Amino acid sequence: MKRVAIVTGGTRGIGEAISLALEDMGLTVAANYAGNDERAAAFTERTGIRTYKWDVSDHDACQAGAARIAEELGPVDVLVNNAGITRDGTILKMTYQMWKEVIDTNLGGCFNMAKAVFPGMRERGWGRIVNIGSINGQAGQYGQVNYAAAKSGIHGFTKALAQEGARAGVTVNAIAPGYIDTDMVAAVPEDVLDKIVAKIPVGRLGQAHEIARGVAFLCSEEGGFVTGSTLSINGGQHMY
């Protein structure tokens, strides 16, 4: 029986690349999305991967969504917490709502989804959880106190949950992408983006498939001795 994977935010950008990479590994993939029905339908038509709609910041919706996938596709053995949003602004201009939405989605979503699938993974003695952090959670970024805090929190969440899963055969790791050529980065003004690329030692933006290959390794049988780790894939932009 094929293993089942959930990829949150799995129909576009890095999430789409991850969904495709896991499918190529032979997993049955369920791609979660929050909003764009038309784009999700086009994704399914293009890839054959089933999509499921819910908001990862909604705890009850995550429980129901994971249960539905388990019922329709089988027990969930792999979870990739990729869903994320931005609500940028300096703290002088950032509203509480901008803070709360990013924390609840980017960090709260990791808890909500792990809560839904982690018990089953432990019971079956095998599981893979990969949380998508960010270079900006490692190094900080002007105008992103909400995003940086949420992504930094993901790295701590990963280390703690890894300790709970290790003896039960459940690994928990994170990937911290640098600046990747996606719609989110394309929204950055060109002059700002040029300055960002100038600070990347390899001299270019990353590609979504480069993140997906890292996720695929961490989700594989061969990744079983890696847990509690953060893999930085950022072109050398932040080294420590």
What span, in angstroms and rounded, lies between the C-alpha atoms of 206 and 185? 11
Which amino acid is located at 185 in the chain? V
Return the structure tokens found at 59. Answer: 């705890």
96 given a catalytic annotation: no
Return the structure tokens found at 159. Answer: 């280390």
What span, in angstroms and rounded, lies between the C-alpha atoms of 208 and 206? 7
What span, in angstroms and rounded, lies between the C-alpha atoms of 163 and 228? 7
Nearest C-alpha neighbor of 79 from the set 131, 37, 39: 131
DSSP, residue by residue, 59-116: HHHHHHHHHHHHHHH--EEEEEE---------TTT--HHHHHHHIIIIIHHHHHHHHH
First to last CA, the chain: 41
Residues paired with residue 132 on neighbouring β-strands, in sequence order? 175
Q: Is 32 helix (H, G, I), strand (E, B) or coil?
A: strand
Q: Evaluate whether 210 touches 234 at the Cβ level (below 8 Å).
A: no
Catalytic-labelled residue, pool 52, 96, 142, 147: 147
What span, in angstroms and rounded, lies between the C-alpha atoms of 225 and 217? 11
- Catalytically annotated residues: 147
